[in-house]
Amino acid sequence: MISDLHIGMISKLNMAILGNSSDLWYDSSASVHVCNNRAHFKEYKEANNGRKVLMGNHNTTKVLGMGSVKIQFTFGKKVTLVNVLYVPAMRKNLVSADLLCKSGLKAIVESNKLILSKNGVFVGKGYSCDGMFKLSINNMINAFAYVVGCSLFLWHERLGHVNFRSLKFMSKYGLINCDNHEAKTCEICVQAKMTRLPSPKSQRNSKILDLVHSNICEMNGTLTRGGKRYFITFIDDCSRYTYVFLMKTKDEAFDMFKIYKALVENQIGKKIKIFRIDRGGKYFPIEFSSFCEVNGMIHKKFGPYTPQKNGLVERKNRTLTEMVNAMILNAKLSINL
């Protein structure tokens, strides 16, 4: 049985030159979409009724199946072609102008260019080539690029040692084809992705000024208009209320702490009990230790090279730095502001 479907005029010269390819051609005389590569079909159903199509050279060719093909234009827009015929004997992949029009796409041809749009929004384009219009696409999205069944572990290696949970998800939806889904420990991942164990979470203090965290951070490596290079933060562990002081040098930290201590204790009517910093050498060890003893404070210090143990202040300093940078960039101001 010969279908009344018609394929646009294709010269024998063009058929001989092009051969099977992933190019897509806009055909104003074709009444159906045609694809010659089974791998390009996203959804596919075999044809068992002996269906044929009539080509422009009055020859007929057999249709082996039908389905949908997803294409992506060079500008990023994606379009799904439905009821695409699978005809391996065809030398070109054809898109029917009539069917595109019925799907809501508008085509404008001028100056050897084809412009496709929908509801006034640009979708894609094509250009004149060999007497037809070739659509500018990145390539038809190959739905069956990996048809050979492989083990889950081999796919794990191919995809850059992605986690097995993602691989099983991809296999479930047909993105990869696995013979088995047995996951095993990857020693390469153990070596390449080793991280330190997370530091134990400390319990948040329930009373204000029972614990105060502090740290010093440099401001973008640039002096401010007032000649300041650093800032020091004091954070109450209970309320998370933060005080920030600017400094020219790190040895001003002790003076800033005295100002902070006098201010908060006078306003709240409570005393600082524990003061926590790292071992960055920001405070005078003898003078500051004596000051803590006189005022009945406990001075806690972390071990060297363990900033994660002072994570509360480290995160706050990063937040403040990013906030300042964002505001300066948005206002297009000088970094010293």
Q: Cα(5)–Cα(27) distance, rounded to whole angstroms?
A: 14
**pLDDT of 280 over the 60 cut:** no
Same domain, 219 and 265: yes
27 is catalytic: yes
**27, 236, 237, 278: the active-site residue:** 27
Q: Cα(44)–Cα(250) distance, rounded to whole angstroms?
A: 70
Structural domain for 181, as ranges: 152-192
- Strands 106-110 and 113-118, how do they pair? antiparallel
The stretch 187-192 carries a mean pLDDT of 79
* Strand-pair partners of 137: 73
Same domain, 107 and 171: no
E strands within 149-273?
211-218, 230-236, 242-247
Same domain, 168 and 80: no
Q: Considering the entire predicted model, what is its pTM?
A: 0.43
| pLDDT one-digit tens code per residue, 168-181 | 888 777 677 776 66
Place of tokens 């995160």: 315
Any domain includes 202: no
**Residue 67 · residue 84 · CB < 8 Å:** yes
| pLDDT one-digit tens code per residue, 256-266 | 999 999 999 99
| pLDDT one-digit tens code per residue, 26-80 | 988 888 899 888 878 888 888 877 788 777 667 788 888 888 888 888 888 888 8
The stretch 6-27 carries a mean pLDDT of 52
Same domain, 114 and 172: no
Q: Cα(324)–Cα(327) distance, rounded to whole angstroms?
A: 5
Same domain, 79 and 186: no
**Residue 270 · residue 292 · CB < 8 Å:** no
Last residue of a domain, one of 110, 140, 170: 140
**Number of domains making up the chain:** 3
Same domain, 119 and 41: yes
The radius of gyration computed from the CA coordinates of the chain, to the nearest angstrom, equals 35
Any domain includes 29: yes
The stretch 181-197 carries a mean pLDDT of 73
Query: Tokens for 39?
Result: 């791998």
Same domain, 168 and 287: no
Same domain, 22 and 126: yes
**pLDDT of 8 over the 80 cut:** no
Task: Find the CATH number of the domain harbouring 37.
Answer: 2.40.70
- Strands 274-277 and 211-218, how do they pair? parallel
